[in-house]
């Protein structure tokens, strides 16, 4: 067994090496297929290759236990593979999720079926080629097609005992239903975020503005589950922070995502573009004040394609759709608060519970508020990109 694990670790590292060798090809195709800026995509590919290397090193740490439970018997646990693991990849980081999804399951002895995103399926072809040349036949399988057909077939197949999915709530619910109708499976779902960034008084407005703009992940067109798309600023510094955010957003460069100087590219697909435009209109209808963006950028280069300006709404409230619902686009909604109990209630007033960022000088306050927010991640005085 140790020999098999060491051999598997070498193979995973070889996959990572060959993917990085083909970095230029992969990045060119991935940027064209997603609209994500090339600098960020380069980081995605490097991080994914790092995941393969990291998990390769964990193989020898997969152990069972021997338990002294009775005088006349030996009790022990064994860790065994599921067999076939299915991974349904979202469109915002397709190559990162496709590559990193292999690492853990393969290290634990499983085979993997990756379902590519409908909107951005192409980069997984490179992964399939590399795995074909390095790994045993059938260990890694790449399938594409619509979620309603290909994804549903993958979820329902009785041989697939483990499913992981990142995407929308309705699709997650459909996966749970389909899996329950066929066999008992282990399902992991990550179903989006509407993450609050809470800014307390006495945080420097420049620092708050820098963090808010970075946390929105505009380089991904806001198409990131970890984006801090609800910015909740204490009334004492509200106007000062808003002023600085607008200035910073206005300075960001929208352009060809293959250009290293571009800081935001086009929206991923027509459907997603229409969704973003819908929420721009919803923000106006619900009474938020549009202070920047919301339109197609000016210029001949933006006449064709799914372009939209970085967009900032202020004076939003939690009864507005732009404050409650995940947009998955470059729209920042800014809300005002006065009392701590008020902002905690605001933060918890959505169905999403992925992450929150708390900006204060008082660690006790940060820990207290963090415990009261219903989410999985809490960042204090920082933001962190998650997918």
Report residue 133 as tokens. 């040349």
pLDDT (mean) for 193-200 = 97
Structural domain boundaries of the chain?
2-190, 196-380
Cβ density class 46-57: b for 16+ within 10 Å, e for less:
eebbebbeebbe
pLDDT tens for 229-253 read 999 999 999 999 999 999 999 999 9
Q: How confident is the model at residue 147 (pLDDT cuts 50, 70, 90)?
A: confident
pLDDT tens for 279-312 read 999 999 999 999 999 999 999 999 999 999 999 9
- Asked if residue 275 lies in contact with residue 328, where contact means CB atoms within 8 angstroms, the answer is yes
Can you tell me the distance from the alpha carbon of 267 to that of 281, in angstroms, rounded to the nearest whole number?
17
Superfamily name with CATH number, domain 2-190: Aldehyde Dehydrogenase; Chain A, domain 1 (3.40.605.10)
pLDDT tens for 317-337 read 999 999 999 999 999 999 999
196-380 fold: Aldehyde Dehydrogenase; Chain A, domain 2 (3.40.309)
Q: How confident is the model at residue 382 (pLDDT cuts 50, 70, 90)?
A: confident
Q: How confident is the model at residue 153 (pLDDT cuts 50, 70, 90)?
A: very high
Cross-strand pairs, 337: 234
Per the prediction, the chain carries an average pLDDT of 93
Could you give the residue numbers annotated as active site? 190, 225
pLDDT tens for 26-79 read 999 999 999 999 999 999 999 999 999 999 888 888 888 888 778 888 889 988
pLDDT at 387 > cutoff 50: no
Predicted pLDDT of residue 182: 86
Can you tell me the distance from the alpha carbon of 240 to that of 130, in angstroms, rounded to the nearest whole number?
51
- Asked if residue 117 lies in contact with residue 90, where contact means CB atoms within 8 angstroms, the answer is yes
Percent of the chain with pLDDT over 70: 97
Can you tell me the distance from the alpha carbon of 193 to that of 350, in angstroms, rounded to the nearest whole number?
9
pTM above threshold 0.85: yes
Q: Which residues does 50 contact at the CB level (< 8 Å), separation at least 6?
A: 16
| Domains 2-190 and 196-380 in one fold | no
Q: Would you call 375 helix, strand, or coil by DSSP?
A: coil
Give 287-308 as a DSSP string: T-EEEE--SPPSSGGGSSSS--
């Amino acid at each position: 067994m140790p020999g098999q694990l060491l051999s598997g670790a070498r193979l995973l590292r070889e996959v990572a090496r060959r993917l990085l060798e083909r970095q230029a090809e992969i990045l060119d195709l991935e940027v064209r297929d997603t609209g994500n800026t090339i600098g960020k995509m380069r980081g995605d590919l490097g991080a994914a290759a790092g995941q393969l290397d990291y998990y390769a090193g964990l193989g020898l740490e997969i152990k069972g236990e021997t338990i002294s439970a009775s005088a006349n018997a030996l009790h022990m646990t064994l860790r065994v593979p599921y067999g076939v693991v299915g991974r349904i990849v979202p469109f915002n980081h397709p190559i990162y999720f496709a590559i990193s999804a292999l690492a853990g399951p393969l290290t634990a002895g499983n085979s993997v079926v990756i379902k590519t995103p409908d909107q951005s399926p192409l980069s997984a072809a490179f992964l399939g080629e590399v795995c074909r040349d390095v790994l045993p036949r059938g260990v890694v399988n790449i399938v594409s097609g619509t979620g309603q057909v290909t994804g549903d077939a993958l979820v329902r197949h009785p041989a697939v005992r483990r499913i992981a999915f990142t995407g929308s709530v309705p699709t997650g619910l459909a996966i749970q239903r389909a899996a329950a109708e066929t066999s008992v499976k282990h399902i992991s779902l990550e179903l989006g975020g509407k993450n609050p960034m809470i800014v307390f008084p006495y945080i420097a407005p420049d620092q708050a503005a820098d963090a808010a703009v970075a946390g929105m992940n505009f380089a991904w067109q806001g198409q990131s589950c970890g984006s801090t798309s609800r910015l909740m600023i204490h009334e004492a510094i509200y106007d000062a922070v808003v002023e600085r955010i607008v200035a910073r957003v206005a300075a960001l460069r929208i352009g060809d995502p293959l250009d290293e100087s571009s800081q935001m590219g086009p929206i991923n697909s027509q459907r997603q573009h229409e969704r973003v435009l819908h929420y721009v209109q919803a923000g106006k209808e619900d009474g938020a004040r549009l202070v920047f963006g919301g339109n197609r950028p000016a210029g001949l280069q933006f006449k064709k394609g799914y372009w939209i300006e970085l967009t900032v709404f202020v004076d939003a409230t939690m009864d507005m759709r732009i404050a409650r619902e995940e947009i998955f686009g470059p729209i920042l909604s800014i809300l005002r608060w006065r009392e701590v109990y008020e902002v905690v209630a605001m933060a918890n007033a959505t169905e999403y519970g992925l992450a929150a960022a708390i900006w204060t000088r008082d660690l006790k306050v940060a820990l207290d508020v963090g415990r009261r927010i219903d989410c999985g991640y809490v960042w204090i005085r920082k933001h962190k990109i998650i997918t």
